[in-house]
Structure 1
């Protein structure tokens, strides 16, 4: 179609690839809002659920840990579970970003804008 127009054919390919990457990244962002990960602490006594984007969506606490004298322990377990969920969310996001960059033929260590 662009034969004989010099570098315009290459420019068209680049624009098409850029649009494809933009569409894939938007789809990834949408998927990460729906995908959830669960972090836990205290051998599963406290579980925190978050989206793969890191937004906390749920907290499950085993009632056996509710002892008035153990308040600080419970608080520590809750924080640890939330941090674990956030770490898992970040790992999942990085894994998905890496997969997409490889599918698009981009360098695996290329940093995306989010």
Structure 2
């Protein structure tokens, strides 16, 4: 890149690619599970929660605390999978960008 204009064009290209990648992350779905699949949380790779599924057998007042723990674990599992998928997609996107070695994007 020889001029400020070239640098600005490259920066705009990076911004456009980041916007596309962020939009794509909101379309990729992951599912977090707990209790052997008895509690499931569907989310996007961007972290938006799409739904929660709880097996009917867990719906008893005596098991309230266990159910709360399973829901928490399923959310955390979904979040971990969303983060991993996001990192994977961002890695794909940044590998094609003309960034200097060691440059980190803000996510």
TM-score (norm 1): 0.81
Residues in 1 aligned to 2:46 and 2:101: alpha-carbon distance in whole angstroms:
20
CA distance in 2, matches of 1:108, 1:49: 36
1:16 to partner: Cα distance:
2.5
Q: Distance between the aligned counterparts of 1:42 and 1:108, measured in 2?
A: 43
Task: Mark the runs of 5 or more structure 1 residues left unpaired by the alignment.
Answer: 1-8
Deviation at 1:56, TM superposition (A): 1.4
Q: Distance in 2 between matches of 1:21 and 1:84?
A: 31
Aligned length: 106
The answer to whether residue 10 in structure 2 is matched with residue 10 in structure 1 is: no
Residue ranges of structure 2 left out of the alignment (5+ in a row): none
Matched, 1:22 2:5: no
TM-score by length of structure 2 reads: 0.86
Q: CA deviation at 1:103?
A: 1.4
1:81 pairs, out of 65, 74, 91, with: 74
The equivalent position to 1:65 in structure 2, one of 53, 58, 62, is 58
1:36-79: CA deviation from partner (whole Å, max 9, x where unpaired): 21100011000001111112120011112222211111110001
Could you tell me how far apart the structure 1 residues matched to 2:58 and 2:89 are? 36
